[in-house]
Structure 1
Amino acid sequence: MRRLPKSLLLACLSRGLRPRSPLPPLPTPPPHHPPPRRLPFSTQTLTPAHPPLAPDAAPAAAEPAGLALLEAAELHESEGDHRKALDLALKALAPLQESHGGWSLPVARALRLAGAAASNAGLAGDGLESLGAAAEIVDYLAPAARRGVQPEVASVGAAVHEQLARAKMALGRRWDAVGNLRRALELKGAYLDQGSVELGDAYRDVAEAYAGVLDFDKALPLCMKALGIAEGRFGEDSAEVAKVRRLLAVIHTGLGRHVDALEQIEIARMVYERLGLDVELSQVEIDGANIRILLGRSEEALNDLKRVMKRADKESEERALAYVTMAKILNSQERTGDAKRCLEIARGIIDTKDSVNPGRVAEAYAEISLLHEAMTEFETALSLMKKTLAVLKGNKEMQHIEGSISARMGWLLLHSERVAEGVPYLETAVEKLKNCFGPQHFGLGFAYKHLGQAYLETDRHESAVKFLTLAKDIIHATFGPTHEDSIDATQSLANAYGVMGSYKLAMDFQEQVIDAYRSCGPGSSDDLREACRLREQLKMKMKGLRHAVFPANSLPVLPEHND
């Protein structure tokens, strides 16, 4: 049985967005009024815009009232008074609609501010609604792929989509947020200089977001663009360029290009060494050691880690992470006792630290738990996974890590025959992973499969069929019909339908299992023989023979005895 892929943990390398500078003041509104149009869903309570007025009849008082309220709202938001800012932004909507029309830039700006204030005040649903309405207006004023967008429209639009991405990420909806970040980048390209620092940062943000949802193919060209801009602005030997190179190394690693990743790490390492940035140098050497492990160059990796331990403070997180990586090497060399000692030292450091970065602590606990799992110390692994979830509790921006750890726990509990205990973790994993990585990601496919198998074990047959079908479709599309997990999902579907008495459907899936094993060649002859045996048992079931055994782990029906 294949383990849930460890690659989901790559997502914890992604970082939050940087704070954005305030928007420039609103320009003087143009005299032209857009034609009346249905307002976005969050402004339905507003009255429709009036027909265009003659220039000499323009309402002189309405425009300043709306703009004044908006400026006051912006001031309160900048001072951290989110409730007051929200109240003023909402009050500004009606006069702004009156003076500029419902589908106008000032209304979009007010909705953006209302959405930001609501999100910051803890009203996530209201914030999303207002920001979604603002995005709808902006996309009407500046349709995607249209050339010649006015700079002020593009500037407000970029801010709207960036804020909407933040709001979605705060709710764990990372997959949805990537599209908004991409749209913000497109709009920034309409008003920023092509070599500007802000545009380079935007390219890096979007590349980082794609890497965070493990879509490395889309991340790569964006990161290369960010690297080119950073080199032009800061020079090749700058810390800013080294930071982009570290992201590029993550992307190359995700694509399986470990040599390219190591090249970027080495360049960044030399930069940090010249600049005397010891913490960053230690972090990048740990990254390099992990890549060297993937390349089978364990001795070089050990040398990297020894340098980190010599340089880093005794109780630093860098030293703890170096011990975790060293344990990984020692365990691969079957030096289990030494590996456990390294993990004990690492835990001793991490347990006593109040880190400002829960993501790094969670990553460390997750790595330690995986190593204990590899040593078949499942109870210790489960305990550490629970500790990881406790660190992440309430941190909605870390739901990608929470989903990955929950999936791992559910899998371990399922295969430790603690199915009922594992089901809630698998259900949580499915929800989190879908929001974070999208509906077709392979990690979600594995979680679906394990949840379906758990439901089958607990006699929730219809639910089992639902999730096993979803799993089969995703894994089949990602890895093909002959992948071991694809075949396993198909066999589980045959089992589920067999238990339900739907023998024709069960036979259809059992035939698919046989066809898949036949395509795998002579190395799968034993599996093929077992699949054919199960088909014969299923045929006997269809004939009503009570001694037939299908699925494989079921018992024959005992004959009834009449006294």
Structure 2
Amino acid sequence: MFRVFKDMEACFDERELGIASLKIGLKLDREGEDPEKALSFADRALKVLDQDGKPSLLVAVALQLMGSVSYGLKRFNDGLGYLNKANRLLGSYGVLNFKKALEIKEMTLGKDSKELGVGYRDLAEAYVSVLNFKEALPFGLKALEIHRKGIGHNSVEVAHDRRILGVIYTGMEEHEKALEQNQLSQRVLKNWGLSSELLRVEIDAANMQIALGKYDEAIITLKGIVQQTEKDSEN
């Protein structure tokens, strides 16, 4: 394997060598042999693949490999750092994918299409996953606008839009707005009898009440969640 790689160095370009280094590093890590050599190949792969600074799955895999091997070598701080970077990168990559998907939907679907609204909400959720609440907000609001206009205030899609808006406003520390969206979402989900989805929204509500210092209300909400969970487990 190493002899083949040496031969490749004479005729392959840097990116191809970076991908080959990643494959060898992954193989060594799986086999548990020579972790120092696995780390060396992972490091070479990362330096080559991350030259342009653009998020990619290959860079994320290289970072995860660096993290895995570092843990095996008991370099725990290094390992955690690489794994955190990989997770952030995967989140950014997800945002880019949802952006591209939304662009396609905007070109092919009507401006009031339910699916277009879902596309806006998906992108909002992708931004939330990387804690970019400010960027998430306009997409969450756009999803709500489309679904309210197209399928009505009492639709499940509107409830989902309001739930994500509640999460976004919480992230922006606008807790009153967050709680308002959450309560409107709960109302719709109760009307539809969607108990499992309602449970998630009620947990969000308890967190919002705590953030607002409404501890008594939060306790009541949490007690209701426990009672509902016990009731569901009996059925």
Return the TM-score normalized by structure 2: 0.59
Distance 1:280 1:188, change over 3 A: closer
Residue of 266, 269, 284 corresponding to 2:201 = 284
Match of 1:216 in 2: 133
The answer to whether the Cα contact below 8 Å between 1:279 and 1:312 also exists between their aligned partners in 2 is no
Match of 1:274 in 2: 191
Superposed, which structure 2 residues align to 1:383-398 within 5 Å? none
Match of 2:168 in 1: 251
Match of 2:100 in 1: 183
The answer to whether the Cα contact below 8 Å between 2:137 and 2:165 also exists between their aligned partners in 1 is yes
Match of 1:489 in 2: none
Superposed, which structure 2 residues align to 1:291-440 within 5 Å? 291-313=208-230
Distance 1:297 1:234, change over 3 A: same
Gaps of 5+ in 1: 1-40, 43-123, 129-168, 317-563
How far apart, in 2, do the equivalents of 1:242 and 1:315 lie? 22
Cα deviations by residue, 1:60-91 (Å, 9 ceiling, x for unpaired): xxxxxxxxxxxxxxxxxxxxxxxxxxxxxxxx
Shift, 1:283, TM fit: 2.1
Gaps of 5+ in 2: 1-14, 17-56, 62-85
Shift, 1:310, TM fit: 2.1
How far apart, in 2, do the equivalents of 1:277 and 1:243 lie? 12
Report how many aligned residue pairs link the two structures.
153
How far apart, in 2, do the equivalents of 1:288 and 1:173 lie? 29
Shift, 1:239, TM fit: 1.6
Residue of 186, 198, 201 corresponding to 2:118 = 201
How far apart, in 1, do the equivalents of 2:224 and 2:143 lie? 30
Match of 2:159 in 1: 242
* AA in 2 matched with 1:302: I
How far apart, in 2, do the equivalents of 1:212 and 1:281 lie? 21
Shift, 1:179, TM fit: 2.5
The answer to whether the Cα contact below 8 Å between 1:203 and 1:226 also exists between their aligned partners in 2 is yes
Distance 1:300 1:202, change over 3 A: same
Shift, 1:172, TM fit: 5.8
Distance 1:274 1:174, change over 3 A: same
* AA in 1 matched with 2:151: F
How far apart, in 1, do the equivalents of 2:227 and 2:198 lie? 12
How far apart, in 1, do the equivalents of 2:111 and 2:139 lie? 13
How far apart, in 2, do the equivalents of 1:171 and 1:216 lie? 15
Q: Percent identity?
A: 42
Three-state SS of the structure 1 residue aligned to 2:111 is coil
**Aligned-pair RMSD on alpha carbons?**
2.6
How far apart, in 2, do the equivalents of 1:189 and 1:265 lie? 28
Q: Does 1:232 align with 2:149?
A: yes
* AA in 2 matched with 1:268: S
Cα deviations by residue, 1:484-514 (Å, 9 ceiling, x for unpaired): xxxxxxxxxxxxxxxxxxxxxxxxxxxxxxx
Superposed, which structure 2 residues align to 1:111-122 within 5 Å? none
Distance 1:217 1:172, change over 3 A: closer
* AA in 1 matched with 2:203: I
Shift, 1:215, TM fit: 0.9
Superposed, which structure 2 residues align to 1:2-151 within 5 Å? none
Higher helix share: 2
Return the TM-score normalized by structure 1: 0.26
Distance 1:281 1:315, change over 3 A: closer
Cα deviations by residue, 1:349-399 (Å, 9 ceiling, x for unpaired): xxxxxxxxxxxxxxxxxxxxxxxxxxxxxxxxxxxxxxxxxxxxxxxxxxx
Distance 1:196 1:179, change over 3 A: same
